[in-house]
Amino acid sequence: MGTKQMWVFGYGSLMWNPGFPVAERKIARLDGFHRSFCMRSLHHRGTHQRPGLVLALDALQHGTCQGLAFRVEPGAEEQSLSELRERELVSAAYLEVDLAIDLRGGGRVRAITYIIDPDHVQYCGGLPLEEQAQIIAAAHGGRGPNSEYLFNTAAHLHELGIADDELDWLDARVREILMQGQPQS
């Protein structure tokens, strides 16, 4: 990658666990997509027997998603890209794309971004929020409970001052289900 800066756009777990050396991070916006629990997780937050749900960027005309832009530490680009691909492309449900994002405070950069492949078998866009909450409350995968993924993401969005009404609703509903001890399958 030489002297060219490498940016990565995070909208879910990358925001709180980038997994690569970060030289700079800025709040950023990506247009034409929205953050959504539209991907069944068979590895990290669920299993083949009981899939969980993870966030993905789903294409949406006039949609927008706020997240974090990370500039990878110079010299760590190749290793970081390799590790990102190992993490994000486990099942080929995500597509790796290079998209323009707008940095808060001004500026536009191109960033490696992982979006959902709507033709992939793990795609499940449009599930009702209550169904999403029930799945998230019950699922557990190799990286832990699906609810932990939701709670961490919602907490980091709040810390950053990024509003996401659907995630806030899911956060509250999944906590309610877990307190009642009754996730339904």
CATH code, domain with 110: 3.10.490.10
Cα dihedral value 33, 36, 42, 45, nearest 10: 130
pLDDT tens by residue, 140-171:
999 899 999 999 999 999 999 999 999 999 99
88 belongs to the catalytic site: yes
Q: What is the mean pLDDT of residues 76-105?
A: 92
65 within domain boundaries: yes
185 within domain boundaries: no
170 within domain boundaries: yes
153 in Cβ contact with 13 (< 8 Å): yes
118 within domain boundaries: yes
Annotated active-site residue in 88, 131, 148, 159? 88
Task: Quote the number of domains for the chain.
Answer: 1
Domain of 162, in residue numbers: 7-180
Read off φ and ψ for residue 79, nearest 5 degrees.
-65, -40
pLDDT at res. 2: 45
pLDDT tens by residue, 47-57:
999 999 999 99
122 within domain boundaries: yes
d(CA 46, CA 13): 15
174 within domain boundaries: yes
pLDDT tens by residue, 165-174:
999 999 999 9
1 within domain boundaries: no
45 within domain boundaries: yes
